[in-house]
Amino acid sequence: MTTHIARPLDAPTLKQLRTADDAGRPPTAVIDTEGGAPLRCCLRHSRPGESTALVSYAPLRRWAAATGVDPGAYDERGPVFIHAEECPGPADDDRLPFTDSHRVLRRYAADGRILGGRLVEEPADHEAALTAAFADPEVAVVHVRAVEYGCFLYEVRRP
């Protein structure tokens, strides 16, 4: 059983991203013919035939705005996949998503400063790596990212 909760993109953010992404561009829906895209709306891989969109997203900027801090130089945006239309959201199954490959956990302080990162190589090590990250009382939020492209997958907040 996981003790950390992966946070998908919330409904208001998804609604806005389906109109204009964080770079100000309207999304383009495509039918995913192969499947396998990591969807940030429901925290699972896409299935062949689903309508998806690749949008620009600024995760730290949005977290900082919600918590009243300045992300400073760590403000960045990058590509994320979402369903082009509303979806039911993540399954309520208690598992951390996207642990099937190497991941980087980036730790941030409550004032928006980056506190470091950690490479997680084994699927079974994700929960322990998050526990270790939050053992540092300065850590407020952790971003889980893909190693290959650096893409934001989801965030975990202090339990």
Q: Three-state SS across the chain?
A: CCCCCCECCCHHHHHHHCCCCCCCCCCCEEECCCCCCEECCCCEECCCCCEEEEEEECHHHHHHHHHCCCCHHHCCCEEEEEECCCCCCCCCCCCCCCCCCCEEEEEEECCCCEEEEEEECCHHHHHHHHHHHHHCCCEEEEEEEECCCCCEEEEEECC
Are 112 and 153 in a shared domain?
Answer: yes
Give me the residues paired with residue 77 across strands.
Answer: none
Residue 79 lies in a domain: yes
- Distance from C-alpha of 80 to C-alpha of 55, rounded to nearest angstrom: 5
Q: What's the domain count of the chain?
A: 2
- Domain boundaries, position 108: 103-157
Whether residue 72 lies inside any domain: the answer is yes
Q: How far apart are CA 106 and CA 116, in angstroms?
A: 6
* Residue at a domain's end among 55, 83, 111: 83
| pLDDT at residue 150 in the model | 85
Q: Output the pLDDT for position 140.
A: 95
Per-residue pLDDT of the chain (159 residues; tens, 9 = 90+): 468 999 999 999 999 999 999 999 999 999 999 999 999 999 999 999 999 999 999 999 999 999 999 988 989 999 999 999 999 899 877 789 999 889 999 999 999 999 999 999 998 899 999 999 999 999 999 999 999 888 999 999 988
Q: What is the pTM of this model?
A: 0.92
* pLDDT score recorded for residue 2: 60
What pLDDT sits at residue 3?
A: 84
Residues 147 and 109 in one domain: yes
* Statement to judge: residues 122 and 58 lie in one domain: no
Looking at the DSSP bridge assignments, the partners of residue 144 are 105, 154
Residue 76 falls inside a structural domain: yes
The verdict on 16 and 79 lying in the same domain is: yes
Compute how many other C-beta atoms are within 10 angstroms of the C-beta atom of residue 126: 22
